[in-house]
Amino acid sequence: MQINIDIGKTLRSGSRTFELRAQLTSSSQRIVIYGPSGAGKSLLLKAVAGLSTPDRGHIEVAGRRLFDSGGGIDVPAQRRQLAYLFQDYALFPHLNVRQNIAFGLQRGWRNPLARVDGEAVRYWLQAFELEHVAHQLPHQLSGGQRQRVALARALAPEPQALLLDEPFAALDPGLRQRMRAELDALQCRLGIPMLLITHDPEDVRAFGDHVLRMENGSMAEIRDMDIVERNEA
């Protein structure tokens, strides 16, 4: 994915200030930003998705200028055509699996019906083996199924890139391995570029074609996985 980010944002909370200075240029299909919690990774991902507005700089994804403080460009989140996988999935609790998957396919003011159907819905239910739970509500699903629904919902509108916020943190360790393999296969099959943020070195090993480290709001390139390992120890 052609991605080019250079943004700055200052957050103030009482007497404390947090300074985000993020630079990232990559043409890799799998970019991982690795760092401890509180480093500003989520803030960066939200800025890319259009859920948070930087003070200055620019964001360019897949050749589209999404934000440019100088040029007065700020494409609304609705029109950025990006998929966002939230850490705890943020599935709509009042809608069943079908409705969640179809949510982004039906614009306008009304939710899809409980029996919503269609080629895309059928495809994603099948691709993630969710047919037998299609009518269930999110709280009735297992952790792995929830993640699959969240992925299906995010990918159904055919986004240009996939943004993932700590995608495996909410899962049991045993399940993590399996879901990593699943995401790995999915990404290869769809060829969709992804930007993943994590504090788990395992994620870096699995997806880190291009790895950057983030700490205290600043970023640095990582060429050598040993740095990740050492930081973990």
Partner 1 sequence: MINSFLAEPAWIALRLSLKVACWATLLDLLFGVALGYLLARKRFPGRELLDALLTLPMVMPPTVLGYYLLVVIGRHGVIGAWLQRTFGINLIFTWQAAVIAAAVVAFPLVLKGARAAFETVDTQLEQAAKVLGISPFGVFLRVTLPLAWRGVLGGALLAFARSMGEFGATLMVAGSIPGKTQTLSIAVYEAVQAGQDDSANLLVIITSVVCIAVLIAANKLTPNRNPQA
User: Which residue lies nearer to partner 1 by CB, 93 or 174?
Assistant: 93
Residue 19 contacts residue 217 (beta carbons within 8 Å): yes
The CA distance from 136 to 22, in Å, is 41
Strand-pair partners of 21: 8, 218
Query: Is 82 near partner 1 (CB under 8 A)?
Result: yes
Cite the DSSP H helix spans in 131-172.
143-155
User: What are the backbone angles phi and psi of residue 206, rounded to the nearest 5°?
Assistant: -75, -35
Shortest CB 10 distance to partner 1, Å: 17
Residues 35-64 within binding reach of partner 1 (CB under 8 A)? 49-51
Site string for partner 1, 132-161 (x = CB under 8 A): -------x-------------xx--x----
Instruction: Report the 10 Å Cβ neighbour count for 63.
Output: 10
- Toward partner 1, which CB reaches closer, 5 or 206? 5
121/211 with CB nearer partner 1: 121
Q: Which is nearer to partner 1, 21 or 86 (CB)?
A: 86
CA end-to-end span of the chain: 32
18 exposed, middle or buried (CB, 10 Å; 0-12, 13-18, 19+)? middle
Of 11-19, 22-30, 32-40, 109-117, which segment contacts partner 1 by CB under 8 A? 109-117
Number of residues that bind partner 1 (CB under 8 A): 28
Burial class (CB in 10 A: 0-12, 13-18, 19+), 60: middle
The nearest distance, CB 72 to partner 1, in angstroms, is 21
- 118 contacts partner 1 (rule: CB under 8 A): no
Strands 210-215 and 30-34: parallel
User: Is residue 114 part of the contact set for partner 1 (CB under 8 A)?
Assistant: no
Residues in contact with partner 1 by CB under 8 A are 49-51, 77-84, 86, 88, 90, 92-94, 103-104, 107-111, 139, 153-154, 157
